[in-house]
Amino acid sequence: MLTQIALIAGGLALLLWGAERFVAGAAASARLLGMSPLLIGLTIVAFGTSAPEILVSAAAALDGSPGLAVGNAVGSNIANIGLVLGVAALLAPMRVESGLVRRELPLLLAASGLSLVLVLDGHLGRLDGTLLLAGLVGMLAWFLRIALRAGDAALPAGTAPTEAVMMTPGRALTWLLVGLMALLVGARLAVTGAQALSLALGVDEVLVGVSVLAVGTSLPELAVTAVAALRRQHDLALGNIVGSNLFNLFAVLGTTGVIGPAALSSGMLSLHFPVMLGFTVALFLMAYNWRRGGGGRINRLEGGALLAAFLVYHALLMLELR
């Protein structure tokens, strides 16, 4: 079992490092080609933060392991709200901008509900995947329209690009390719280790996907959100979570459905999808200011409740892994 755990840990480490290098190289390359910071934020940075989940799920789907692929996407959304947001709110109570409540959170609720409806028949097929990928294109077009109408200040929270790093064309291309290779190799190692671990434990691959892989691929969001919360950059912290969850639903599940359509386990429909939807609804209710009808505040008590619910959920998973 140590071998499987080492493969997963090594793969996750490569994924995290590769995502950071890929974003840096791609953003620098785009700037050298004259691409605006707005477009970089909406495309490259948004993709880069979800690259570990996308690559892991794609590799799992190609390997005929849909449980790992779907479990990784759904489990990452649960971890982003329960673990990442819970820890961030415990570190520093978070103010929620009204724009996030009016635009991005309703969209996340709709995307979560749509993904659940699409898999109610117990199957994630190519049509389902195509509809989700179409949702991704529509989401990006909508965000871009909002931003172009009112300027960079209207960017959906958390999608603004990081400060551009000055690189030569050769260095930018090198980091782009190195980062992409690290992502591909890391995804392969993580999936191979997860498959072997599920066999060694004699459990459904879904359990490994929603626990080990999901938490591991959510580490970038945890680091970014925790630092942003401590620096009182609440729009970045919350926007990072909401944006990542939207990409997981549209891009990760969509890619999985197109590449490797397959039947879903009963536990996915009876437990994991409802838990994901429950966390999403809880986030919306906590973020909404019912007196003013706009943005509110997520305090330490609510953050603690999210983290406690996440730990209870994972305690149930550990009981099944035993």
48-57 confidence digits (pLDDT tens):
667 788 888 8
Q: Where are the domains of the chain?
A: 2-321
Please state, in angstroms and rounded to a whole number, the distance separating the CA atoms of residues 33 and 28: 9
The pLDDT, as a whole number, for residue 163 is 46
Could you tell me which residues come within 8 angstroms of residue 157 by beta carbon, excluding any fewer than 6 positions away?
97, 99, 100, 104, 235, 236, 238, 239, 242, 243
Angle at 105 between CA 217 and CA 260, to 5 degrees: 45
Please state, in angstroms and rounded to a whole number, the distance separating the CA atoms of residues 82 and 12: 20
Could you tell me which residues come within 8 angstroms of residue 264 by beta carbon, excluding any fewer than 6 positions away?
66, 67, 70, 119, 122, 123, 124
pTM for the whole thing?
0.83
| CA neighbor of 141 nearest in space, from 42, 235, 47 | 42
Give the highest mean pLDDT range of 21-30, 198-207, 237-246, 300-309.
300-309
**129 pLDDT more than 90:** yes
In whole numbers, what is the pLDDT of the chain averaged over residues?
A: 81
Rounded alpha-carbon distances, angstroms, from residue 277 to 74, 231, 260, 312: 10, 29, 24, 16
**99 pLDDT more than 80:** no
CATH (residue range 2-321): 1.20.1420.30
The pLDDT, as a whole number, for residue 290 is 62
**127 pLDDT more than 50:** yes
Residues in the chain: 322
**171 pLDDT more than 90:** no
Residue 152 near residue 38 (C-beta atoms within 8 A): yes
Please state, in angstroms and rounded to a whole number, the distance separating the CA atoms of residues 314 and 100: 28
Structure tokens at 11: 């793969």
The pLDDT, as a whole number, for residue 257 is 93
Q: What is the mean pLDDT of residues 120-132?
A: 94
Residue 270 near residue 74 (C-beta atoms within 8 A): no
The pLDDT, as a whole number, for residue 236 is 67
Eight-state DSSP code of residue 264 = P
Give the highest mean pLDDT range of 89-93, 184-188, 216-220.
89-93
220-249 confidence digits (pLDDT tens):
777 767 777 777 777 767 877 888 899 899
Q: What is the mean pLDDT of residues 3-29?
A: 80
262-300 confidence digits (pLDDT tens):
888 888 888 999 999 999 999 988 888 765 555 678 889
* Greatest C-alpha distance within the chain: 54
Structure tokens at 72: 């990784």
Name which residue leads in pLDDT, 310 or 146.
310
**154 pLDDT more than 60:** no
Please state, in angstroms and rounded to a whole number, the distance separating the CA atoms of residues 172 and 208: 36
**302 pLDDT more than 90:** yes
Could you tell me the pLDDT band of residue 188, with boundaries at 50, 70 and 90? confident
Could you tell me the pLDDT band of residue 67, with boundaries at 50, 70 and 90? confident
Name which residue leads in pLDDT, 67 or 157.
67
Which residues are bridge partners to 297 per DSSP?
Answer: 95
